[in-house]
Amino acid sequence: HPPPVATDKEEQKRLLENRPDQPQNPKVLRIAIIGAPNAGKSTLSNQLLGRKVFPVSRKVHTTRCKAWGVITHEDTQLIILDTPGLTNPLKAKRHNLDEAMLTDPWDSMKRADLVLVLVDVSDHWTRNCLSKEVLKCLSQFPHIPSVLVLNKVDILKKKFLLLEIVADLTEGIVNGKKLEVKSAFKQDSSSSAKSALQITLASPPESKVPGSPCGQEKSQAQEGSALDRSSDVGSAGTGEAQGPKQYRPEDLKDMKGWPHFQEIFMLAALRGEEVDTLKRYLLMQAKPGPWEFHSDVLTNQSPQEICDNIIREKVLEYLPLEVPYGVTQVTDIWEEGECGELLIAQSLLVPRESHKRMLIGRGGKVISRIAREAGQDLMNAFLCDVRLKLKVEVK
């Protein structure tokens, strides 16, 4: 089970400063998750961690800052860099986002050993090409191995569209080999994320590699990574050794996809389907190196940051578009109760009386729902009873 987050700010700080409890032969992998706003990066991060520490909402730009999650499994540590969605200065201005929203994803890329590019296949406007920001990011760091993750596969009714999406997003090349796409749909698929897609790489068929996430068994090969691999996935260095060419801005103009992905995964992060397959793959990609954190650390965020983010997530979820971005949060009480429960009181300050009425809702229904659901999420993060009180004021 993943460790809980400390409820006390000082305790969490001590944990973060603690010297890592290194095993004999430690391995580590820093993973940057990038993609368009709302592709499901935070949902996937939470599922990989096994505990909710990142805010998620259907509204764009729920993640406002760069936060890290830490997965410690046996001798391996995965550090997940959950980043704001890649956006441009024009959109940043429209959503009143600060400068860090533009620079944080780039900073994460500089630290990463592997990059996961997340694409929401349920969005028919954007699913057939990577955004200019994502392509720009990948082209600036072509030496970092990258993996394509197709998310929300369960929502896609016409599964055959995945063939087209894969061909477009990879420019027809994965791990340096040309794709030959065959569909092998199974009707009795119990998991909605099972795309049952066979994508063969054009090269003589060799035996499956036991180390590859797709080589564990035939059914899993089709479901999880959906790549019928004919070469060693573990040799992630092959593409790296020769290294993809350097791209100029004009080269990106006509590109829809990225021809240097080493692997493709298809999953439904919200339901947790096939997330374990991806997690096993990530653990196998870790390289020998010292851990950065003690095994009791789950995230580098403070307890207050997690609390603020989770309350803000609910406010974003239940209020009309323009309202939540103007809410200011002030924590009035943060203390331990008599029975060891965590008592939190927070004031939500809004700019207008009309916003206050919306946030409270008829008979206090909206604010009660926000407090109830945020309290549940906080219990999950801190693994203790949480009593959360919210009040709304016009600032």
The pLDDT tens digits for 74-123 are 999 999 986 665 544 444 444 444 444 444 456 778 889 999 999 999 98
What pLDDT does 323 receive? 61
In the chain, alpha helices (H):
9-17, 41-49, 89-94, 100-111, 132-140, 161-170, 218-220, 237-242, 249-252, 275-285, 303-318, 353-360, 365-382
- The answer to whether 292 and 77 have CB atoms below 8 angstroms apart is yes
pLDDT at 182: 60
CA distance 108 to 115: 9
12, 70 in Cβ contact below 8 A? no
Separation CA 286–CA 282 (nearest Å): 7
The residues near 106 (Cβ < 8 Å, ≥ 6 apart) are 137, 140
Query: What does the pLDDT look like over 292-314, one tens digit per residue?
Result: 999 999 999 999 999 999 998 89
Residue 324's pLDDT is 61
The answer to whether the CB of 41 falls within 8 A of the CB of 125 is no
How confident is the model over 141-146, as a mean pLDDT? 92
The separation between the first and the last C-alpha atoms of the chain, rounded to the nearest angstrom, is 42
Least confident range of 65-69, 101-105, 324-328:
101-105
Q: Which residue has the tokens 């971005």?
A: 325
Q: Is the pLDDT at 229 greater than 60, yes or no?
A: no
The CA–CA distances, whole Å, from 184 to 146, 163, 225 equal: 26, 11, 14
% the chain with pLDDT above 90: 48
- Selection from 93-97, 246-250, 325-329, 339-343 with the highest mean pLDDT: 339-343
**Bridge partners (DSSP) listed for residue 79:** 30, 70
Least confident segment among 94-98, 130-134, 218-222, 242-246: 218-222
Tokens of 213: 């996430």
pLDDT of residue 208: 34
> Is 203's pLDDT higher than 50?
no
Structural domains of the chain, with CATH: 9-183+248-288 (3.40.50.300), 303-394 (3.30.300.20)
Q: Is the pLDDT of residue 204 over 60?
A: no
pLDDT per residue over 150-174, tens digit each? 999 998 888 888 989 999 999 999 9
Confidence at residue 41, expressed as pLDDT on a 0 to 100 scale? 86
- For 27-84, where are the E strands, in sequence order? 27-35, 67-73, 76-82
pLDDT given at position 35:
85
pLDDT band at 221 (very low <50, low <70, confident <90, very high): very low
Question: What pLDDT does residue 321 have?
Answer: 64
* pLDDT of the residue at 286: 97
pLDDT tens per residue across span 338-353: 888 999 999 999 998 9
Cα-based distances in Å from 90 to 61, 97, 125, 280, 324: 14, 10, 19, 38, 20
pLDDT digits (tens, 9 = 90+) for 3-25: 999 999 999 999 999 999 999 99
CA-to-CA distance for 141 and 157, rounded, in angstroms? 35
Please give the pLDDT value at position 273. 85
Q: Which residues contact 322 (CB under 8 A, 6 or more apart)?
A: none
pTM: predicted TM-score of the whole model, two decimal places: 0.80
Check residue 39 and give its pLDDT: 82
